[in-house]
Structure 1
């Protein structure tokens, strides 16, 4: 499970979580809104802004009916058609992202859209509903880019087949995202632990595509479990018209999410257990050691009445507590005042 790069950004163990701010189709067909979304993501500290690129005719059968969860009288075909991002936006959005210091990404849903994007994206994001489209996966694999693939609404056996297709087609850099295809996803159903399952089962990077309304809990939990990538939808305003605005994070929430991810990474720290610099004072003052509890004269026996295991505070520390039983019954070689830390030089061995 090697670290790989998206652009010049390392992704993988020991590296900061790659945060994708998912703008999706929340541009509402307005280029200026798309640029505002990029501004918000850059200000929040995201690594990439991701849109979605598709054509309804390449995505749904025309007489596709309605989808209940969208609460829209139009057919799903008509809704998807209204959400299409013009191909001519791609170079301009790419350049605007570059100016703002974030990577431009967009999820293609068909070969035609992938071809339009290929020159501009540093990695492919495969949507959950496309992850079992094997011919499309092979098409993406031919571009020699890293692949980040969501796994919502798929069983492990299907995911295994898709991973095999990608790897057989030459994909070396792959991350699988735990995802639940519910908009929004109830927090109790997000199953963040699958982040570990995917990594262990397939030996690739893993992460989370999160559709819960909570900006902090699931992303932070995923990072704690070793997520290399976290993705979450965002919008300028939840009240805007469109199917994906209602469950998306607003700008302040996106900032909170990125901040929580970075704080979680900071709190996870290193696997090395050692005494840290910030512990040094209490290491010296609060760890117990062997001290005289009364004045002790040279030649006097050490007993439970005149020595004890105490915190030294400002006094010099004595011997480690593990030697307490060993020195009981021995005699002092030096005069000791009450509170003195007992050293080996003070003990007649």
Structure 2
């Protein structure tokens, strides 16, 4: 399965979105993927700035600019289906998930930072519970531990669920991809596994992931790397994406023709001739699940934690609207895990807290 991740590269333009869908189809994608963005589901307004060619822009403002109405996503779904392809989308909170389910996508992708958005995962699991043919779910596992992945799969289940190995770094170094982890994750959790690739090379990680047992390739696509989409600098332009799809299909054909073991050896030998044996072995890695060096500093900041949505005085009793399940990102301090969301609702603050601050246990339980 080849997924073309359009994400927000359309920048809210219906015409550009359709041009990206056309390009993705022509470049060999099976699934066309979008992101259903509401800024308030992702970030606190004071989260910090993102550096763009036009200057430093508040990250929250940038996400606000990428918000689209439900009708936009429905039109993209219909257009994708009209071209004989499947539509997949990432929600980032309960509102976007509920609206996405209402337009009946072909699959739902949970992005790496949302792997610990437990209220959203629980809502999705409850929705799937009563479905005879459960809607496919793809979980991405960048900036996560083995325990994080296990918690998410325990909630969502394994039926029609796949996993993507990922490095949450833009761009991600090929040598840190540890693609031998693909078969190990698949064996540990008993579900298919592939790779979400943020590296710049259109060939190396995608083709080698097939040799490593991967069943899904996800890669960003853009009409031009010079445009201002948040992920455009690490995306493939259509010609590159087409080259990637061709190479991946060649790798699959090699395994089908020569058999799994011989076909795998052949792929590795061919890539070793092109990139060198030492680099190929580095990309394949140890197969042990660890945070990649490029993403380790993002753990706790890119994935979700609890944040205060306003400043509150000591003695305030916390209600649901007071706490956000957000990415910390740039300048704020990470809070405790979303698994404690229900625990803090109804609790009384023992200290005053600042707007946007990460929620800490010590905000409620001060030692003498």
TM-score, normalization: structure 1? Answer: 0.69
Alignment correspondent of 1:164: 154
- Aligned in 2, Cα 1:198/1:139: closer, same or farther, shift over 3 Å? same
Q: Structure 2 CA distance, aligned partners of 1:208 and 1:133?
A: 21
Partner residue, 1:151:
141
Shift of 1:256: 0.6
Aligned-pair CA distance for 1:85: 3.0
Deviation per residue, 1:99-124 (Å, 9 max, x gap): 11111111111111112111331111
1:102 and 2:90 correspond: no
Aligned to 1:73, the other structure's residue is in SS state: strand
2:253 maps to which residue?
266
Work out whether 1:215 is the aligned partner of 2:202: yes
Q: Displacement, 1:66?
A: 2.2
Question: Quick check: 2:87–2:107 contact (8 Å CA) kept in 1?
Answer: no
Give the superposition deviation at 1:159.
Answer: 1.0
| Secondary structure, aligned partner of 1:142 | helix
Distance 2:52 2:9 in 1: 17
- C-alpha deviation, 1:273, in angstroms: 9.3
2:213 aligned to 201, 211, 226, which one? 226
Kindly report which structure 2 residues correspond to 1:1-349, keeping only aligned pairs within 5 A, or say none.
18-67=1-50, 72-118=55-101, 119-144=103-128, 145-167=135-157, 171-269=158-256, 271=259
| Shift, 1:242, TM fit | 2.3
* Secondary structure of 1:20's aligned partner: strand
Where 1:232 maps in the other structure, the secondary structure is strand
Unaligned residue ranges in structure 1 (runs of 5+)? 1-17, 275-349
Contact 1:176–1:207, Cα closer than 8 Å, also in 2: yes
SS at match of 2:200: coil
How many residue pairs match? The answer is: 254
Query: What RMSD in Å do the two structures reach over aligned CA positions?
Result: 1.9
SS of residue matched to 1:88? helix
Alpha-carbon distance, 1:98 to partner? 1.0
Superposed structure 1 runs of 4+ greater than 4 Å apart:
67-72
Gap regions ≥5 residues in structure 2: 129-134, 263-368
Q: Which has the higher contact order (CA 8 A, sep 6+)?
A: 2
- Compare the two structures and name the one with the higher helix fraction: 2
Q: TM-score, normalising length from structure 2?
A: 0.66
